[in-house]
Amino acid sequence: MINENHINETEAENSEIEATEALEKALAEEKAKVETNLAGWQRAQADFINYRRHSEQEKKEIIGFANAAMIWSLLPILDDFERAINSFPTQLTRVKSGWADGIKLIERKLRATLEAQGLSHIKTVDEPFDPNLHEAVKQDKGKEGVVMQEIIKGYKLNDKVLRPAKVVVGNGEEPMDSHRSGEERNKEDKPWLEQ
């Protein structure tokens, strides 16, 4: 009987050990599932955050492209206003004229509106030629590598070149009228380009 009790106790201990081992194994499997689910959830959350960031960036780029396209289409109108104002007969510039003042006001408002959207004029005359900002259409006598005259204004939109300035660049020969600055030459040779 002692032997039977001892065997029963041993069997009971063995079954307890087996049950404990089975529970520990099940617990380890559940912990692994939890870790896998947690890692999957964290990846999904990171993917969603990246998707949202990418979508917002894409939306900003689309809006920026649309703004640039619209502003690009308005540049010829701005150029025409400048030419119109600079070609007013001298008697109109001396005398108050309602329609001339109105045209000047419209040009100033258009320019102010475009500048509020990030448009800025590219400086040209007496500046070193920069192929990233300027498009050379001609070389003329003057200091080599320096912009001598602006033919068509260039513009940047938020520090990106929207339209390069078309310019005349010096070729290194001394000009006949070297006493005139590039700004003076622009005003005398192309009065419609005056600001």
Asked if residue 88 belongs to a domain, the reply is no
Distances (CA, A) of 64 to 25, 77, 85: 58, 21, 31
How does pLDDT run across 5-38, given as a tens digit for each residue? 666 677 777 788 888 888 889 889 999 999 998 8
* Domains of the chain: total: 1
**Contact call for residues 115 and 147 (beta carbons, < 8 A):** no
Backbone angles phi, psi at 27, to 5 degrees: -65, -45
Question: For 16-50, what is the HEC assignment?
Answer: HHHHHHHHHHHHHHHHHHHHHHHHHHHHHHHHHHH
Residue 133 in any domain: the answer is yes
Is the Cβ–Cβ distance between 147 and 104 less than 8 Å? no
- For residue 169, what are the domain limits? 119-195
Answer yes or no: is 70 within a domain: no
User: Quick one: residue 124, left, alpha or beta (phi over 0 = left, psi -120 to 50 = alpha)?
Assistant: alpha
In a domain, 26, yes or no: no
Q: At which residue do the structure tokens 């000047």 appear? A: 104
CA distance 110 to 112: 5
Residue (of 118, 133, 132, 128) closest to 169 by Cα position: 128
Domain-embedded: residue 185:
yes
The CATH number of the domain where 170 resides is what? 2.30.22.10
Q: Is residue 99 part of a domain?
A: no
Provide φ and ψ at 95, rounded to 5°. Answer: -105, 150
Locate 188 and state its tokens. Answer: 């005398």
Question: 185-195 pLDDT, tens per residue?
Answer: 555 555 544 44
Reported pTM: 0.61
Task: Flag whether 153 is in a domain.
Answer: yes
In-domain check, residue 182 = yes
Can you read off the two tokens belonging to residue 51? Answer: 């998707």
> What pLDDT shows up at residue 195?
44
Q: What is the pLDDT of residues 50-77, one digit of tens each?
A: 999 999 999 988 888 888 899 999 999 9
